[in-house]
Amino acid sequence: MNRGNRVTVITGGGRGIGAAVAHRIAHRGDAVVLGYRSDAQAAGSVAEAISAAGGRASAFACNVADEAQVEALFRDAEAELGPITGLVNAAGYAEPQARVDAMDAARLQRLFAANVTGSFLCAREAVRRMSTRHGGRGGAIVNLSSAASRLGSPGEYVDYAASKGAIDTLTIGLAKEVATEGVRVNAVRPGLIHTQFHAAGGDPDRVERLAGGVPMARGGEADEVATAVAWLLSDEASYTTGALLDVSGGR
């Protein structure tokens, strides 16, 4: 597929790993669609930087837990930039750190709606456009999971870890479902990465606090994760689907 014809939707594209992916794949020629929930300024700045460098980028507000907003994101993105050929499910968040015995239903509903339901809805819209079964020309989906899906995050984020376990299962099942329809589905599982995620969870120094338990003895950078995502989106990964790629420094 000609790189200049690629259009990739990145949810959570205004900051952190999503923004790093946007810059990386725009540099190689993808048009990028940046979905954001509330920070229009951050997403707009990413889109402006890509456009200033000669790329194509647009930002659209979208709460991925809202089905109508997800449908509008894909419809509007396709109308503006052309047929969708890629999706990066990077939107998601964690609630403040808590033990399971302190979690209530409202917290769980918020988190699973954003992290799980949102990924399913975006994957659905992407498959409807990319699958040869629906008249598409193929494409690739990369889900952002987490090393937490293996480690469980006890005493901190068991609910978040469980939501990422669901993403692992979505990745494996959907990859098999659309394997003969020109669509590859993979996941990247970051470890301790220097992003705003930890501050939002109430522990801004978490990476430094836990880095000693990482075999590489450091936290990772968003661009190191973005490199893996970009590879999985590319034709270089043409025989890779259903993979869960750890980018976690060996943790």
Active site (catalytic) residues:
160
Q: Which two tokens stand for residue 3?
A: 């790189």
Alpha helices (runs of H) in the chain, residue ranges in sequence order: 16-27, 40-52, 67-81, 105-112, 118-130, 148-151, 158-177, 197-200, 206-210, 222-233
Give dist(CA 112, CA 133) in Å, integer: 29
Give dist(CA 91, CA 81) in Å, integer: 21
Helix (H) / strand (E) containing 31: strand 31-36
Q: Which two tokens stand for residue 189?
A: 């599982």
What are residue 57's phi and psi, to 5 degrees? Answer: -155, 145
Instruction: Please give the angle made by the CA atoms of 165, 110 and 242, to the nearest 5 degrees.
Output: 25
Q: Which residues contact 82 (CB under 8 A, 6 or more apart)?
A: 5, 7, 31
